[in-house]
Structures are given as C-alpha cells and as structure tokens.
Amino acid sequence: MQNHFLVHGKLVFRSYQLKLLALLGGLLILLMTTAPAWSESKPFMDPLIQASKARAELVQSVQQSVVHIKVEQKLVNVRGPFQNRPRQEGSGSGAIVRSDGYILTNHHVVGEADKITVQLYDGQELKAYLVGTDPATDISVIKIEGKNMPVLQMGDSDNILVGESVIAIGNPFGLSHTVTFGIVSAKGRTGMGIAEYEDFIQTDAAINPGNSGGPLVDLEGKIVGVNTAIFSRSGGYQGIGFAVPINMARRVMNELIENGQVSRGWLGVGIQDMTPELAKAFGLDQAKGSLVTGVMPGTPAEKAGLQKGDVILRLNGNTIENSNGLRNLVAEARADAKVDLDLVRNKVPMTLSVRLDERPKQPGQADVYSSTKSPSPELGFAVQELTPEMAQRLGYETTQSGIVITDVKPDSPSFNKGLRAGMMIVEMNRQSINSVADFQRAARDASTEDGILLLVSTPQGSQYLFLQAD
C-alpha cells in the first residue's frame, strides 16, 4: 500500500437500464404503500424481479471468462522470522480476452512473478506464462494453453457515463468469482500516484485485496475497465476504487501481444497545467490546455518549432484539458506518428505538425540545495549567480550559466506559489534572465501587485509561476 492506495479491481453494466429504472420505481411505490397493499401490489414486483434475474444471468455469463491468478515470487534479501521461506505467494484476478487463452490483468499482479497459475471458473488449474507487461499503465498480458475459451468482450470506456451501473468480479481474499455492484463515481482521475499514465475510472463497487486485474463490466457484459486499486486508510473497502479504462488497456494489450513491449510517442517538452492566474498572464479566457515550459534540443518539439510559453489546446482535434491529457494522447500515438497541435503563442492561434519520436527513459532525480542569503522584501526571495560548484551540487550542468534562488521567505507569495531555494530563474515577465544584472533590470519594472510571471527550472524540468500579492 502506497499513499493509502491498494492495487485492486472492478466491473460495469448497461443494456438493462430501463429494467433497473423500473425496478427502482417499483421499490419506491412499494415503500409508499401500507403492509396490506404490499401483497395486493404484487404485479409491481415483476419489473424488479425481471431486472434482478437479467443481472444474475449476465453475471453468470461474465464469470465464465474471469480467472483467479496465483503467483509465486522468489524472495530477495529476506530477514527476520521468514528468512527460511524461499518464495512469497500472491493472488489476483484476470479476464480471458481471446479464445486461445490470452488473459488481461495488472502488472503488479504478475509482472514480477516467477511462477503463474490460473484457476478457471470450473476449478481447473493451468500454468501460465507472461506475454508482456507495462508498469507505466499497470497492465500485463499472460497466456494459458487452450482453445475455444469463453471470452469477455470489450466495450468503449469513452462512452460510459458517471452514474452508470457497474459490476466488479474478482477474487478478493482468495474468494473466487466474488461479484460486487455499484456505479461509475467519476472518470479521468489522475494524480493518484498509482501508475505513470493515469486516466482512471472511479467506482464505488466494493473492491478488496485480490480484485486486482479483474474486469469492470457494463450492463451489456463488456469490459470497460481493469480493476487496479482502492483508496483505503484501513486496508479494506471504503467506497473508492479505480480501474484502468479499457480503451487505454486495449491498446497496451495489443502491443504486448504483437511486440512484447509498448511503443509510446514523445514530444520532448516540459509542460504544466494552466491555472486561472497563468491563463490571465498568457491572455487566455479559460484555464485549459497544457503550457510548454521548455523544449529539449534535438527533439521532435524543437524540430517542429514549438517554443517555451506555447499553450497546447488540441492534439489531432482532441481537446487538451490539462497536461496529463496531453501526455496520455502523445503516449497513445506511436513513436513515428505525425500529429497536429493546435496552440496559442503570444495570444495568436496556430497549428504545428509534429513527427513524434520514441519516448526515452526518464532522467533521475536530484537534490535541491538551500542557502542562508536573505530574501528581497518585495519579491520574497534572494538570488545569486550560479557557480560551477553550485551547479554540481544542485544537479545542473557545470557549464550552465544563470541565476539561482538561494532563499525564499516563508509564507511569502513566492513561497506559497511553490518557489524554492535551488530553482533557477530563466525568465521574468517573458524576458530572458542570464545574470543577476538581467534579474535586477527586470525586477525594477515588476511588481507583485500587478503580478510577475516567472519561468523557473530545476534538474527535473521547468515550470511557469505567477506571483501576485494577496
């Protein structure tokens, strides 16, 4: 469990909605009547009974394609009372997605396993092997030997609506083919810290340890999500579960089956979300889109002419709500794909075509240094020239020049907006800052009352900050 998240599972429903509505209406009528009237209103129970039976029949059909996954993994550097235990065991869930035995599940269920065993609905146990795994989305594919196996059809997660009924099927606590029922609580959940690429469906269908990798199905009996995690302070169900949308999982699954790995597109830019303050500073009506904070040399972005300060609003006609949305859309495109970016530069709309490249490995983290120099009363922070020794200590290039923040006054507008010692100031109000002299000239014309737009950089990337006095 990390950050109160337990990696787990879920499911969804759709075509019997009218029956379910009738069911709820019938219940309301019954609750409003007297006890004698209950027996006299038996015909009103018919829609309820029919809907209940239809759902039960659907569940029975779906269960045929849900499997219980058992894994074993060698223990490394084992200490304490379990030091003589050679392996650790775990379990999860999965769904058969092809009649020849391909199974969709989570990376955290099987990605590190040395031995995988699959238990079918009829109790039969079969050995499985790992076809491919993708930690970035927490999706894996395994395979068992078989023919004409019951397949769970895939739906369209883009079309599900908040409030739709969903069903989760899995093996919580080893209890095979457990079924829970709920609704879609939200869509597009990000920033959970569960996976690198996040676009989760949130559900209140009860999910517990062992549900991971199980299907979330709609009322047509089609997968709309792969149950992945729960939010819990106790380790058990608290009404908040998350599933990887099937449209994201399907693309990953197909690539794993075809190539054994996933190809992702890459722009080569630093980005951040727009805020109302940044939207105002960049002359935009809405705080939507993704703000480019830097362009790496030699990347597709640089070759296409993208610039720092561009605000990307659409990719191939798809609206960009935030930076996570842009990252997901770029990643979903293949490494050699050509995409059109609609953006705003200096308040002028334009379109750029970009040929994406293969996404490289992420750079490592670096420590942030702080000093004891006193901050400016007006701005709330102090700066100095970046020396080679400082650059080495902070994780910057030793040949890099510029100015670095040495101290930030606590509870100042700068501190509250995220400015910290160790950050480099690259721009102030769209003016390049290469020296303390540049900074002083720009600062003379700047005021926190009117607002100051800063572009700051760390070894991990760049971002814009808008400082304004309360």
What one-character-per-residue DSSP string does 111-149 give? TT-SEEEEE-TTS-EEEEEEEEEETTTTEEEEEE--SS-
Mean pLDDT of 421-440: 85
Residue 108 annotated among the catalytic residues of the structure: yes
Answer yes or no: are the C-beta atoms of 382 and 403 closer than 8 Å. no
Burial code (b: 16+ CB inside 10 Å, e: under 16) for 59-98 equals beebbbbbbbbbbebeeeeeeeeeeeeeeeebbbbbbbbb
Mean pLDDT of 271-281: 88
Position 83 confidence tier, pLDDT thresholds 50, 70, 90: very low
Query: Above 70 in pLDDT, residue 295?
Result: yes
Burial code (b: 16+ CB inside 10 Å, e: under 16) for 127-159 equals ebebbbbbebbbbbbbbbebeebeebebbebee
Position 236 confidence tier, pLDDT thresholds 50, 70, 90: low
How many Cβ atoms from other residues are within 10 Å of residue 449's Cβ?
Answer: 8
**Among 140, 157, 185, 212, which one carries the catalytic annotation?**
212
Backbone phi, psi, residue 56, to 5°: -60, -40
pLDDT at 341: 95
Mean pLDDT of 231-250: 79
Instruction: Quote the CA–CA distance of 157 and 138 in Å, as a whole number.
Output: 17
Query: Above 50 in pLDDT, residue 195?
Result: yes
More confident residue, 268 or 345: 345
Per-residue pLDDT tens over the stretch 359-404: 765 433 222 233 334 445 567 788 888 877 677 767 787 667 788 8
Mean pLDDT of 260-264: 87
Partners of 357 in the beta sheet?
266
Mean pLDDT of 184-209: 84
Instruction: Quote the CA–CA distance of 187 and 258 in Å, as a whole number.
Output: 29
How many Cβ atoms from other residues are within 10 Å of residue 28's Cβ?
Answer: 11
Position 290 confidence tier, pLDDT thresholds 50, 70, 90: very high
Residue 184 amino acid letter: V
Residues in the chain, overall count: 470
Q: Which residues contact 35 (CB under 8 A, 6 or more apart)?
A: none
CA 42 to the chain's CA centroid = 48
Residue 8 annotated among the catalytic residues of the structure: no
pLDDT at 50: 78
Instruction: Quote the CA–CA distance of 82 and 202 in Å, as a whole number.
Output: 37
pLDDT at 362: 43
pLDDT at 194: 80
Mean pLDDT of 15-36: 48
Residue 331: name the closest of 323, 225, 104, 303 by CA.
323
Query: Above 50 in pLDDT, residue 3?
Result: no
Burial code (b: 16+ CB inside 10 Å, e: under 16) for 344-370 equals bbeeeeeebebebbebeeeeeeeebee
Copy the structure tokens of residue 456.
């700051």
Position 354 confidence tier, pLDDT thresholds 50, 70, 90: very high
Instruction: Quote the CA–CA distance of 145 and 449 in Å, as a whole number.
Output: 69
Position 31 confidence tier, pLDDT thresholds 50, 70, 90: very low
**3-class SS shares of the chain: helix, strand, coil, % to 5:** 25, 35, 45
Query: Above 70 in pLDDT, residue 299?
Result: yes
pLDDT at 366: 28
Mean pLDDT of 293-309: 88
pLDDT at 387: 75
Q: From the DSSP assignment, how many helices (H) and strands (E) are in the chain? A: 11, 27
**Among 108, 232, 342, 357, which one carries the catalytic annotation?**
108
Tell me which DSSP letter residue 2 carries: B
CA 392 to the chain's CA centroid = 33
pLDDT at 367: 28
**Among 138, 199, 204, 357, which one carries the catalytic annotation?**
138
Backbone phi, psi, residue 61, to 5°: -70, -45
What average pLDDT is seen over the chain? 79
Percent of the chain at pLDDT > 90 equals 31
Residue 283 amino acid letter: G
Classified as helix, coil or strand, 41 is coil
Mean pLDDT of 191-202: 83
